[in-house]
Every structure is written in C-alpha cells, then in structure tokens.
Amino acid sequence: MPRVADSSRRDVLLSQIVDHLGNSSLSELSFRRLALALGVSTYSLVYHFGSREQLISEIVRAISERQKSSEPPTRDEASIEHHLEQIRASFDWQLQPENIKLQRLEFEAAMIETLDPQLHSYTRTTFAFWMDETERTLRALGLTQADAATEARILNNLFYGFQYDLVINGDTAAATKAFTLVMERYREHLGNLIELSL
C-alpha cells in the first residue's frame, strides 16, 4: 500500500520553496537545485510534488493564496466601500518588495503556461477565480450580468497591469498615485452603473 504524503510537511516545503524562489527564476527550477538550497532530498520533493509542472502549479496556487489572505473577509451586505477596500488591500499587499517578487514568479509561470498549456493551467485558473469573484461582487452591488462581466474583466486587467508595472519598474510611489486616481474614477463609474441598473 503506497504511503500518503504528509500535507503539513508538504505545505511547509511549499512555503520554503516560494520564499526561496523570490530571488531566482522558474526557468532555473529543478528538484536537484531546490533540494540543495533547502537541505532536503530530491526524493522528498518528488514525493510531495510529483513533477516540475505540478510544482509550478502549486507555487502559483501558494502565491494566490497568500494574496487572498491579505483581503478583508467578504461581508454579507455588499457595498461599494467594502469592494474598494478589498481591492486596496490586494494592491497594498502587492506593494511589499517580497510580494513583487512573488508576482514576478506568477507572471513567469503564466508565460510557461502559454507556451505549453498542457503543462499546467493554474495561472488561468487563478485569473478565472478573480474574474468570478469580481463579477459576483458587482452583481451583488446591482449590476446586470452583462455589465458585471465586462466590468470584472476591465478591473482585473487594470489590476494585473498595475502588478506588471510594479514588477517591471518597481516604482511603488508612482504606481500608488496612479492606482489611487484610477480607484477614484472607478468609484464614480461604478456608482453611475448601479444607478443605471436600478
């Protein structure tokens, strides 16, 4: 009978791997290099993660989970203010230098995925999750299905654009100034859409 992997040990290893990769590239990722860096056996990594492709998916999932945990919990009653508060909390998380490194890894994983979609699909799954969450929130605020779907894509593309800016330029002050202005315009735009939906 095969052994069942210890999920707590796996989670600890995954956290160590994500922290370690903040200063390197996924293109250099190998079980052997990771094992040397973390002081564990390659067998242990293969046992817990299976393949390089599965490990990359787990890395993207772990990054996404870290970001999700930074947001305030969803409230029963939807409001524009709470929606903006959640967006701002995610952006503030992105501003941390260690999280900019994590976002770089997620972008790198996405590029690997587009070159060979059979390897893994977690970056697309993550994008779909944020789309669904945003659309659900916008529907709760009163937008029509069509408007919620369109606005969710616009907002998520804007947000990913700011993440890309932080990764490429690292200018948190300029990004924050632009983000604040966009959120002020978004608040007004969203209010207008809600009024039109009534």
**Structural domain boundaries, residue 137:** 73-197
Q: Which residue has the tokens 């903006």?
A: 84
Same domain, 168 and 92: yes
Residue 56 lies in a domain: yes
Number of domains in the chain: 2
Whole-number pLDDT of residue 2: 46
Among 146, 141, 137, 127, residue whose Cα is nearest residue 87: 137
Amino acid letter for position 162: F
Render pLDDT for 21-48 as a digit per residue (tens, 0 to 9).
888 888 888 899 999 999 999 999 999 9
Q: What is the CATH number of the domain that holds 55?
A: 1.10.10
pTM here is 0.80
- Looking at this protein, which amino acid is placed at residue 4? V
In a shared domain, residues 83 and 20: no
**147 found inside a domain:** yes
Q: Is 83 within the bounds of a domain?
A: yes
The verdict on 85 and 51 lying in the same domain is no
Is residue 151 located within the same domain as residue 130?
Answer: yes
* Helix, strand or coil, per DSSP, at residue 65: helix
Same domain, 149 and 180: yes
Q: Cα separation of 87 and 179, whole Å?
A: 10
Query: Is residue 95 domain-shared with residue 181, that is, in the same domain?
Result: yes
For the CA atoms of 118, 119, 123, 125, the dihedral, rounded to the nearest 10 degrees, stands at 50
Residue 53 sits in the same domain as residue 126: no
Residue 68 belongs to some domain of the structure: no
On the 0-12 / 13-18 / 19+ scale of CB atoms within 10 A, 139 is middle
Q: For residue range 141-195, what is the model confidence (pLDDT) as tens digits? A: 999 999 999 999 999 999 999 999 999 999 999 999 999 999 999 999 999 999 8
The answer to whether residue 1 is domain-embedded is: no
